[in-house]
Amino acid sequence: MDVNAYKTNLLNELQRLKKLAENAFSQIDDEQLFTTINKEGNSVAVILKHLSGNMRSRWRDLLTTDGEKPDRNRDNEFVIISKDTKDLILKQWEDGWSILFNAIQSLHPSDFDSTISIRGEPHTVVQAINRQLTHYSYHVGQIVFLAKHLRGSEWNSLSVPFGKSKEFNISPRKYLSEHEV
């Protein structure tokens, strides 16, 4: 495996996930950020809070400490309290991504074969990365779904809109240059 190519691709895919989530939640207002679609559901704010806590725990001291840090209270990530403002949650979101990107960028090729632990379970660094990539994709999909649901008919598509596939397939570069997808 070309570790440097993997690392570059990984960083690009994570940037795409972050941007996808941000393009989704930027379309909803402050009230909708905290809205759930049912009693048992999570709001976009809760998902952002959870992802931030996960990133802070998993990526801080990646190679030297367990990925489930003792200072993490995962259950609290799923509860909105009075201090959880939009500004605070977005700051935590940015901080989580910053920790993640710094951790990955600091990895050397030999680190990818290292064994680390998450909740005491051994993983190679590549396994741990892939586990997190899957986890983040899952939650970004939830963010997109919720934002699209809350925005309704005013939703701006984040991919090729329904009915535009043929136009896209004829000239993808032209389509992409004319539309923000």
Residues 89, 94, 130, CA angle at the centre, nearest 5°?
110
Q: How confident is the model at residue 168 (pLDDT cuts 50, 70, 90)?
A: confident
Closest CA to 74 of 95, 92, 56, 96: 56
Does the domain at residues 3-178 carry the CATH identifier 1.20.120.450?
yes
Query: Among 12-16, 132-136, 175-179, which stretch is predicted with the lowest mean pLDDT?
Result: 175-179
CB 105 within 8 A of CB 11: yes
pTM: 0.91
Mean pLDDT, range 8-33, rounded to an integer: 97
Mean pLDDT, range 119-143, rounded to an integer: 97
Segments making up each domain of the chain, as ranges: 3-178
- Residue 95, pLDDT score: 98
Q: Over pLDDT 90: what percentage of the chain?
A: 87
